[in-house]
Amino acid sequence: MHLSAAAGEGTPSGGLLAIVPGTAGLITIAVLGIVLLLLLIIRFRLQPFVALLAVSIAVGLAAGLSVTDLFGTVQKSDAVSLIESGMGGILGHVAIIIGLGTMIGAILETSGGAAVLAQRIERLFGERRAPLAMGLTGLVFGIPVFFDVGIFVLAPLVYAAAKRSGKSVVLYAMPLLAGLSMTHAFLPPHPGPVAAAGLLGVDLGWVIIMGVVCGIPAVIAGWAFSAWIGRRVYVEVPHDMVEAAEESRAAVEAERRARGGAATERPAPLGAVLAIIGVPLVLILLATFSSISMEESALRTALEFTGNPFVALTIALLLAYWLLGVRQGWSRKSLETVSTNSLKPVGNILLVVGAGGVFGAVLQGTGIAQALADVFQGAGMPVIVLAWLLSVALRVAQGSATVAIVTTAGIVAPLLSGGDYSQPAIALVIMAISAGSIFASHVNDGGFWMVAKYFGISERDTLRTWTVLETVLSVVGFAVAALVSLFV
């Protein structure tokens, strides 16, 4: 796909003269493309999907690709263009996983399963250890649901704990946020690690294993910081949010009664909640280990089938439908409504991920990615360090963790394909990318404002608490990934 500009080789089918720069020119185009991407997102507030798509086209044309290479032709309808292959290649992997994971989270949220789990954990630890209970709640509940959904569902528990103890909201909110943020950054089925796994061709089982290995130390460090900062920054309970939460609960209960009466008001069974969260993780891990340690057999085939992420999450969703829906008195229409509504916010995520895939495909097709790979290999910088630094730079500059992950993955992909890297080693690179994508959340990140407004924390105190917490999670997660990579 990398076109030549040598004399006599003709003009590409798109009709534009392809003048391919040398290595220095290609790298300059890449740097300018990233700068342009950041300017469009930060300065001009262009939607990241549009910005990624526009920059991908600009970079491709500047690097010598023809219009035909980028878009294909009407005459050759069977030919796949770079934009189509980039978009379709990544979405074919992540769209199903994100969709299924989102619906599972919605069922847990609407059924009250999240609240049941959180209350049980808090009772087990007692009021004195309520901050740790909040952290564990965020950690467990954060596995199947998005970060913002976790805040929405679990924030009332933070309000209640802070009001009951008279202590700072920060003391309870930060451990909860540490758990939610870690799972969102490091573990499938969240978009970041899933997208990176698709772009770099890593089995999700290894991503889960390395996510746990790198994420648990990171979240423990986050909890330690939360305990320290929670006693130094006092924030009162946001009374308007408490009132809004109570109104929302009343509305939900009224809707439940209208749907099915008293049967729908029973608390969700704790065992069912744990099963729904644990089943897909166990199935995926069993498939990964069976492919490593078992000979070809009917049992191995069965384990690999049920452990396929698509199958494992489908099984978990059907369990959620039955255990938290049908057995709790939900109608089939209610299940359909909750599932459909949960998918509405996913469109933006999928488009951004897909556009990131396009950007990566263009970098590959123009030869820019290989040029970058050659330069960094010549500099002797370890890939895992480069991956973290690139992800940190993109995260701090434009705020979106997803954009940082998919862009970084596209840049480092040729570095990995050109070397003899095992699946565990590549999974650790994904951990470094994911860690970098949550570094220093500040005012250009939607999560910053969500935390500030939902918990009633001033911008100054949000920088002292949430921003530093995210940095702790990022640095510790990367440090563990880099250390483990020395032995993999």
HEC readout, the chain = CCCCCCCCCCCCCCCCCCCCCCHHHHHHHHHHHHHHHHHHHHHCCCCHHHHHHHHHHHHHHHCCCCHHHHHCCCCCCCCCCHHHHHHHHHHHHHHHHHHHHHHHHHHHHHHCHHHHHHHHHHHHHCCCCHHHHHHHHHHHHCCCCCHHHHHHHHHHHHHHHHHHHCCCHHHHHHHHHHHHHHHHHHCCCCHHHHHHHHHHCCCHHHHHHHHHHHHHHHHHHHHHHHHHHHCCCCCCCCHHHHHHHHHHHHHHHHHHHHHHHHHHHCCCCHHHHHHHHHHHHHHHHHHHHHHHHCCCCHHHHHHHHHCCHHHHHHHHHHHHHHHHHHHHCCCHHHHHHHHHHHHCCHHHHHHHHHHHHHHHHHHHHHCHHHHHHHHHHHHCCCHHHHHHHHHHHHHHHHCCHHHHHHHHHHHHHHHHHCCCCCHHHHHHHHHHHHHHCCCCCCCCCHHHHHHHHHCCCCHHHHHHHHHHHHHHHHHHHHHHHHHHHCCC
**pLDDT, position 2:** 37
pLDDT-above-70 percentage for the chain = 84
Asked if pLDDT for residue 246 goes beyond 70, the answer is: no
Asked if pLDDT for residue 34 goes beyond 70, the answer is: yes
**pLDDT, position 264:** 44
Query: For residues 161 and 478, which has the higher predicted lDDT (pLDDT)?
Result: 478
**pLDDT, position 234:** 95
Spatial distance between the Cα atoms of 403 and 398, rounded to a whole number of angstroms: 8
Tell which phi-psi region holds residue 99, choosing left (phi > 0), alpha (psi between -120 and 50) or beta. Answer: alpha
Spatial distance between the Cα atoms of 197 and 353, rounded to a whole number of angstroms: 12
Mean pLDDT of 252-270: 60
Asked if pLDDT for residue 384 goes beyond 90, the answer is: yes
**pLDDT, position 218:** 97
pLDDT-above-90 percentage for the chain = 30
**Cis peptide bond prior to 189, omega within 30° of 0:** yes
Residue 210 contacts residue 430 (beta carbons within 8 Å)? yes
Asked if pLDDT for residue 308 goes beyond 50, the answer is: yes
Torsion, Cα of 205, 208, 214, 216 (10° steps): -140
Spatial distance between the Cα atoms of 397 and 288, rounded to a whole number of angstroms: 36
Residue 287 contacts residue 303 (beta carbons within 8 Å)? yes
**pLDDT, position 306:** 93
Q: Quick one: pLDDT band at residue 242, thresholds 50, 70, 90?
A: low
Asked if pLDDT for residue 3 goes beyond 70, the answer is: no
Asked if pLDDT for residue 307 goes beyond 80, the answer is: yes
Asked if pLDDT for residue 17 goes beyond 60, the answer is: no
Which residue type occupies 312? A
Q: Which of 167, 182, 175, 183 is nearest to 224 (CA)?
A: 175
Tokens describing residue 214: 């790198």
User: Could you identify the residue written with the tokens 């991956």?
Assistant: 387
**pLDDT, position 130:** 86
Which of 17-21, 75-79, 221-225, 241-245 is the most confident on average?
221-225
Residue 223 contacts residue 198 (beta carbons within 8 Å)? no
Longest dimension (CA), the chain: 80
What is the Cβ-side half-sphere exposure of residue 34, based on CA atoms within 13 angstroms?
Answer: 22
Q: Which of 482, 392, 383, 386 is nearest to 435 (CA)?
A: 392
Query: For residues 10 and 109, which has the higher predicted lDDT (pLDDT)?
Result: 109
**pLDDT, position 15:** 38
How many CB atoms neighbour CB 286 within 10 A?
18
Whole-number Cα distances in Å, 354 to 85, 91, 109, 394: 10, 6, 27, 17
Mean pLDDT of 358-375: 78
Residue 175 contacts residue 226 (beta carbons within 8 Å)? yes
Asked if pLDDT for residue 399 goes beyond 60, the answer is: yes
**pLDDT, position 41:** 80
How many CB atoms neighbour CB 270 within 10 A?
14
Spatial distance between the Cα atoms of 394 and 34, rounded to a whole number of angstroms: 9
Lowest mean pLDDT among 16-25, 110-119, 295-304: 16-25
Mean pLDDT of 300-305: 93
Query: For residues 394 and 349, which has the higher predicted lDDT (pLDDT)?
Result: 394
The mean of the pLDDT values for the chain is 82
Asked if pLDDT for residue 370 goes beyond 50, the answer is: yes
Tokens describing residue 133: 């209970």
**pLDDT, position 74:** 56
Which of 303-317, 398-412, 464-478 is the most confident on average?
464-478
**pLDDT, position 266:** 67
Tokens describing residue 446: 């939607």
Residue 485 contacts residue 428 (beta carbons within 8 Å)? yes
Which of 32-46, 91-105, 141-155, 200-214 is the most confident on average?
200-214
Torsion, Cα of 131, 136, 139, 145 (10° steps): -90
Residue 418 contacts residue 383 (beta carbons within 8 Å)? no
Residue 270 contacts residue 137 (beta carbons within 8 Å)? no
Per residue in 279-294, pLDDT (tens digit) is: 887 888 888 788 777 8
Residue 389 contacts residue 433 (beta carbons within 8 Å)? no
